[in-house]
Amino acid sequence: MLPAEGREDDVTEPGNGLPPAVPVTTQPKPLRMERGYGKLDLRSLAGVLRSLQGNHVIRHRAGILAAVRCGRTPVDGVLTLVNGRHMIRREVTTDRRFELLARASEARPARRPWSRVTGDYEIVIGAEIRLGQLFDRESGRSFIAAFDHGLTVGPKPGSESVLGGLQRIIAGKPDGVLISPGTMKIGGQLFAMHGSPVPIVRADWIYNAEVYPGLPALLQDPRQGEHYEVICSPEDALAMGAGAITMFLIVGTADGATFSSNARQLTANIQAARRAGIPVIVESVLWGARMEDKRDPELLAFGARVAAEFGADAIKTAYTGDPETMRQVVEGCPVPVLVLGGVRSSDPAVVLEATRGALDAGARGIVYGRNVWQADDPVSICGLLREVIHRPVAVPV
C-alpha cells in the first residue's frame, strides 16, 4: 500500500532537474476519469504538489506506482499508470497546484477489459467478444482453415465429401473454419461442442476472372464479366451459429461501377453486422480484371486500409512474399491482418516459411484453404502450422 502522505519513503523524482514535488497534507477525493467509451475509477490514496512542467516518477518500496508527464500548459498533461504489463494513457486536466495520483492497481475499467486482439482496453460488445474468440489467449494470433472454395469452383480433390473434408479440418484443431452457408447447414453439428473451432460463414459470392480457371471448361470464359452478390445476411449467419462472417472487397475491377457496387453492399452488411453483434472479416484482394500482380504491396495496403475504413473488424489479404513489404500492409491497417494461403504448395516447408514471414511482418494469423484440406495429411499440416503460429512471442512490458 502507499505510504502515509509526507513520510520519507514517499519520494518524487523529477525527470528534468526540477525540484521534487511537495506532498499534500489532506486526503484527496476519488477522481473519476473518462477514457474512450469507458471510465476509470481512480481511488486516489495520495496527492502531490508538483511543477506543471517536466516528468515526475512517484516511487515507493514496491517499485514505480505512477508516472506523470506534464506539458507547459497548466491544464494539459498526460497521466500514465503502470499496471503490470499494460499502460493506460489519458489526457487529464488539473488546476495550477496539484494533480491526483493513484496506485496503478486502483485503476479499474468499468466496462472495458484488456483485449489481446487490439492491444487496448475495449468496450464489450458482441462483435468484439466473437472476434476475440478467434485469437489464441497466449499468442494473440489466429489459425483459420478455409473450406469455402466449393461455393465458387465446386468439388475439388480433397473436398468431394463436405462432411468428410470438414471433419478432417476440425481434427486439425484450427481456431476457426471458414465455410459456406450451405456447409454450415450440413455440418454445423460438428461445431456444437466445447473446444470446437469457431465457424465463420462466407456471406458473399464472386464470379470473375480469378475463379474462371477453376471452373469446368465450358464456363472458363472471361467475357462473362465480373459479378459480386451478397448471399447471406449477418442476422442469418448469426442464427446459424456463426462466430463471424467473411466478405470480399475486390480491388482492380474493370470498371468503377463494379467496385462501387461491391463497396456499397459490403458497407451495408458491415453496419448490419455491427447491429447484430457479429464481426466481419473483409477479404481484400487484387482479383479485379485489371490486376496483373496480385501481390503488389502498395495496392494490397490500399485495399486493406479501405476495408478497415469501411468498418471491417479484421482483414484477410494476400502475403506479398516478403516480410519487409508485407510490413507496409500491416502497419497501414488499423485492424488485425490475416494472410490467405494462395497457390497450393506440395512442400510443407514452403508453406511454413511463408507463414513465418507473414507473422514476422506483423500479421496476426493465417486463413489457409487448399494448403490444409488438399495436403496429404491435413491433421499433420495443421499441427505444424499451429506450432509456428502459436509459438511463444515476446510481449512488450
- Chain segment 113-163, per-residue pLDDT in tens: 555 555 665 455 899 999 999 999 999 999 999 999 999 999 999 999 999
Q: Is the pLDDT of residue 264 over 80?
A: yes
* 323-331 and 348-360 helices, crossing angle to 10°: 50
Selected residue with higher pLDDT from 206 and 115: 206
Mean pLDDT of 234-242: 97
Q: Are residues 301 and 376 in the same domain?
A: yes
> Is 110 or 362 the better-scoring residue by pLDDT?
362
Same domain for 26 and 57?
A: yes
Task: For residue 346, name the pLDDT band (cuts at 50, 70, 90).
Answer: confident
Alpha carbons 104 and 64: distance in angstroms, whole number: 9
Residue 335 near residue 315, CB atoms below 8 Å:
yes
Residue 397 lies in a domain: no
Q: For residue 76, how many other CB atoms are within 10 A of its CB?
A: 13
pLDDT at 343: 73
CB 343 within 8 A of CB 138: no
Over residues 317-325, mean pLDDT: 97
Amino acid 124: pLDDT: 55
- Joined grid coordinates for residue 49: 504538489
Range of 134's domain?
Answer: 116-389
Nearest to 338 by CA among 240, 237, 244, 228: 244
Q: Which of 44, 79, 109 is the last residue of a domain?
A: 109
Interacting residues of 125 by C-beta distance below 8 A, sequence separation 6+:
277
144 and 121 within one domain: yes
Task: Please report the pLDDT score of residue 41 as a whole number.
Answer: 32
- The three cell numbers of residue 130 are 466473437
Please report, in angstroms and rounded to a whole number, the separation of the first and last CA atoms in the chain.
Answer: 22
On whether the pTM is more than 0.85, the answer is no
**pLDDT of res. 120:** 60
| In-domain check, residue 4 | no
What pLDDT, on the 0 to 100 scale, is given for residue 139?
A: 94
- Judge whether residue 268 has pLDDT over 90: yes
Question: Could you tell me if 191 and 244 are in contact, meaning their C-beta atoms sit under 8 angstroms apart?
Answer: no
Max CA separation in the chain (angstroms): 87
Mark which of 76, 109, 142 sits at the end of a domain: 109
| 209 inside domain | yes
Q: What is the pLDDT of residue 294?
A: 94
Segments of 153-251 assigned E as strands? 176-179, 198-202, 204-207, 227-230, 244-250
Please determine, for residue 193, whether its predicted confidence score (pLDDT) is greater than 50.
yes
Domain count across the chain: 2
- Residues 105, 125: one domain? no
Instruction: Using pLDDT thresholds of 50, 70 and 90, give the confidence band for residue 391.
Output: confident
Residue 394 counted as domain residue: no
Query: Is 6 inside a domain boundary?
Result: no
Confidence of residue 272 (pLDDT cuts 50, 70, 90): very high
Tell me: the pLDDT tens digits for 355-384?
999 999 999 999 999 999 999 999 999 999
Residue 192 above 60 pLDDT?
yes
Read off φ and ψ for residue 82, nearest 5 degrees.
Answer: -90, 115
Q: How far apart (Å, rounded) are the C-alpha atoms in residues 348 and 358?
A: 16
Closest CA to 284 of 243, 247, 313, 258: 247
Contact 303, 286 (CB under 8 A): yes
Q: Is the pLDDT of residue 323 over 90?
A: yes
Q: Assess if residue 256 is contained within a domain.
A: yes
Which residue has better confidence, 109 or 331? 331
Tens of pLDDT, residue by residue over 1-21, are 444 443 333 333 444 444 444
- Whether 197 and 313 map to the same domain: the answer is yes
Q: Within this chain, do residues 56 and 203 fall inside the same structural domain, yes or no? A: no
- Calculate mean pLDDT across residues 283-309: 97
Beta-carbon neighbour count of residue 129 at 10 Å? 15
Measured CA to CA, the distance from residue 57 to residue 291 in angstroms comes to 55
Look-up of cell digits 468503377? 256
User: Is there a contact between 202 and 151 (Cβ–Cβ < 8 Å)?
Assistant: yes
Q: How many angstroms separate the CA atoms of 277 and 186, rounded?
A: 24
Task: With residue 167 as reference, give the H or E element that holds it.
Answer: helix 162-171
**Do 127 and 219 sit in the same domain of this protein?**
yes
Are residue 302 and residue 170 in the same domain, yes or no?
yes
Give the domain CATH number at 282.
Answer: 3.20.20.70
Clarify whether residues 348 and 369 are in a common domain. yes
Residue 231 has pLDDT above 80, yes or no: yes
Residue that is last in its domain, among 47, 78, 109: 109
Do 150 and 264 lie in one domain? The reply is yes
| Rounded Cα–Cα distance for residues 392 and 317 (Å) | 24
Q: Which of 16, 138, 126, 118 is nearest to 67 (CA)?
A: 16
Residue 214 to residue 307: CA distance in whole angstroms: 26
pLDDT of residue 344: 82
Average pLDDT, the chain: 77
Spatial separation of the C-alpha atoms in residues 373 and 159, rounded to whole Å? 7
Helices 323-331 and 297-310 pack at an angle, to 10 degrees, of 20
392's grid cell: 511463444
